[in-house]
Amino acid sequence: MSVVISDEYLQAAHLSAPELLQEIAIMLFAQQRLTLGQASHLASMSQYRFQHLLASREIPLHYDIEDFESDLAALTDAGHA
């Protein structure tokens, strides 16, 4: 699925397209809608860098076994594609 956001909105928000994706990833992670792996992938960042970004915003990690298994399955599936 593709979403098109007008440059007008990006300029109004003073964000670049990658910064907007990071903001969306942070929001979805904070709402526990994406795992750490999913959110860091959406933000086009390593999990390590994304964790630092979360820490800078004082957003706690909520990464449990279920999240780990989900990320592991996604990586396994990606390797077979």
Classify residue 2: in a domain, yes or no. no
Give the C-alpha distances (Å, rounded to integers) separating 16 from 2, 29, 35, 75, 77: 17, 20, 24, 28, 31
Can you give the pLDDT of all 81 residues of the chain as single tens digits? 888 999 999 999 999 999 999 999 999 999 999 988 899 999 999 999 999 999 998 887 876 787 778 878 888 877 666
Classify residue 73: in a domain, yes or no. yes
Instruction: Give pLDDT, residue 49.
Output: 95
Q: How many domains does the chain have?
A: 1
Range of the domain at 22: 7-80
Classify residue 61: in a domain, yes or no. yes
